[in-house]
Amino acid sequence: MDEVFGDDWESPVTLDDIKRLKYTECVIKESMRIYPAVPLLARMIDEDIKIGEQTIPKGTVALALIFYMHRHPKYFENPDVFMPERFLETKNRHPFQFVPFSAGPRNCIGQKFAQFEEIILLTQVMRMYKVESKVPMEKLQLAFEIVLTAPEGL
């Protein structure tokens, strides 16, 4: 942010600024990887699927546990470590490896808009304020609901 804005704490964030805030985008993506707003996706199986010896029948509701998928060492090295740099290079990443907005034909249509909003909000807040959590990370309690929450607050 310092490279883009320097000492300017008041100018609005432009589309050109957003394009230059690559590391800020990585910080947001890494935050969504570790703490996805929607921790799981439910999908209805529309045809029988055979996996090994098992058949999953049409009509079964399947759950994709994004919270755990994003923390699996098969998909993310050192998954419990906050490393925004992992999102600087994504050419070799499978398109369904990081899915905080779902993926495929049922992907969130507002994904790009939401990402722009996140960058603008984070940039504006961080330029004007010092932000600290009132809860240490090791004491953070999460609740799986329709969206991921911290019932005791942040």
Q: Which residues are annotated as a binding site?
A: 108
The phi, psi pair for 51, rounded to 5°, reads -125, 110
CB atoms within 10 A of CB 125: 11
What does the alpha-carbon distance between residue 67 and residue 41 come to, in Å, rounded to a whole number? 10
Please state the residue numbers annotated as binding site for heme. 108
| Strand-strand pairing, 41-44 and 49-51 | unpaired
Burial of 17 (0-12, 13-18, 19+ CB in 10 A): middle
